Amino acid sequence: MGTLIDTLKYFVFITAELTVLFLGISTIVALVLMYLPQEKLRAWLARRGIWGNFLGALVGSLTPFCACSTIPMTLGMLNAGAPFGPVMSFVIASPLLNPIIIAMVATLMGLKACLLYFGVTFAGSVVFGVILEKTGGARYVKNVRVKAGCCSATELKIPVAFSGKMRMAFQSAWRDFRGVLAYLLIGVAIGAGIYGYIPQQFVADIAGPQNPFAVPVAAIIGVPLYIRVETAIPIGLALLQKGMSMGAVIALIIGGAGMAIPEMAMLASIFRKRLVASIVAVIWATAVLGGYAFNLIG
């Protein structure tokens, strides 16, 4: 009975914490984007050279991955002649570095983990954007038409008053939250079960710091297991508390965030299979390298 009560307490506490985080951060991001014109974001992505990749990753970190905003923006940039490399840095960074993930990692795992996570994924987005451009990845973009973003800020009349902007931002955050609530609850429920019922020594023996294969395996597991990163983070937190190495947990989260099934399906609508496979390989490599870096530095 004591274990059941602890499990339920964990479920309620983590659910409440993630709810507040998601709504708060989503509202702030939506509000900031109202003051940041999309023309400015497009201008950043149009820069050439390594600086363009840097700006592409930066724009990706500001814009959560969404079929009705990221995909049209990506296609629009490519069709307008923007350099392929910076656009790929944007595509890689968008699911890995959105502010909700950063806030969750910082709150649940600490500031050091957050800074390392941001540094690893940002560097991976920049470097692999360059590599995908140099290896001719632009050949594998499908010839499809650009559709207007269904949730783009440019499609809505933005209020002039700050109070109106805040209300619209919260409404947008609430819609997004309703869309991911089921995934979040599934993740928290699985995490609570791990926290309450799986022996700590069992997890530590299989995926602790002493197992050199824990990181690449965790990165692979992130692909089919986690449909959304909102599911991955609470599970990763529970495994971390049970003795899983920080590197393996981070590899798990990067794999789940960057290679989740919905995101890959979105990319397959505009990229050919070879380029989608290359992006999956890039994110897996980022997860593995980041995981080992965490174990060394942490």
Q: What percent of the chain has pLDDT over 70?
A: 83
30-34, 49-53, 130-134, 222-226, range with greatest mean pLDDT: 130-134
Residue 243: phi and psi, rounded to 5, are 110, 0
Residue 276 pLDDT > 50: yes
- Predicted structure pTM score: 0.73
The pLDDT value given to residue 131: 92
Q: Of the candidates 184, 168, 24, which has an alpha carbon nearest to the alpha carbon of residue 103? A: 24
Mean predicted confidence (pLDDT) in 138-161: 64
- Can you say whether the dihedral through the CA atoms of 270, 271, 277, 280 is positive or negative? negative
Residues paired with 33 in a beta bridge:
none
pLDDT tens digit sequence for 232-268:
778 778 888 888 888 888 888 887 777 766 667 778 8
- Please tell me the chain's helix, strand, coil percentages from 3-state DSSP, rounded to the nearest 5: 80, 0, 20
Domain count, the chain: 1
Q: What confidence category does residue 154 fall into, taking pLDDT thresholds of 50, 70 and 90?
A: very low
Contact, 232 vs 252, CB < 8 A? yes
Mean pLDDT score of the chain? 79
Contacts 24+ apart (CB under 8 A), 196-201: 196/3, 196/4, 196/6, 196/7, 196/10, 197/3, 197/7, 198/242, 199/242, 200/242, 200/243, 201/243
* pLDDT in the model for residue 21: 83
Q: Give the span between the Cα atoms of 75 and 171, in whole angstroms.
A: 27
Q: Phi and psi (nearest 5°) for 141?
A: -90, 130
Size of the chain in residues: 298
* Environment class of 124 (CB within 10 Å of its CB; exposed 0-12, middle 13-18, buried 19+): buried
pLDDT at 229 over 80: no
Q: Extract the tokens encoding 206.
A: 């299989």
Q: Domain range holding 151?
A: 2-297
> Of all residues in the chain, what percent carry a pLDDT higher than 90?
4
pLDDT band of residue 152 (cuts 50, 70, 90) is very low
DSSP 83: -
pLDDT at residue 1 tops 80: no
Cβ atoms of residues 29 and 64 within 8 Å: yes
pLDDT at 73 over 80: no
Q: How many CA atoms lie within 13 A of 146 on its CB side?
A: 13
Buried (b) or exposed (e) across 73-91, using 16+ Cβ within 10 A? bbbbbbeeebbbbbbbbbb
pLDDT at 62 over 90: no
Q: Are 51 and 85 in contact (CB under 8 A)?
A: no
pLDDT-based confidence at residue 141 (cuts at 50, 70, 90) = confident
> Left (φ > 0), alpha (ψ -120 to 50) or beta: where does 276 sit?
alpha
Band (126; pLDDT cuts 50, 70, 90) = very high
Reported as a pLDDT band with limits 50, 70 and 90, residue 122 is very high
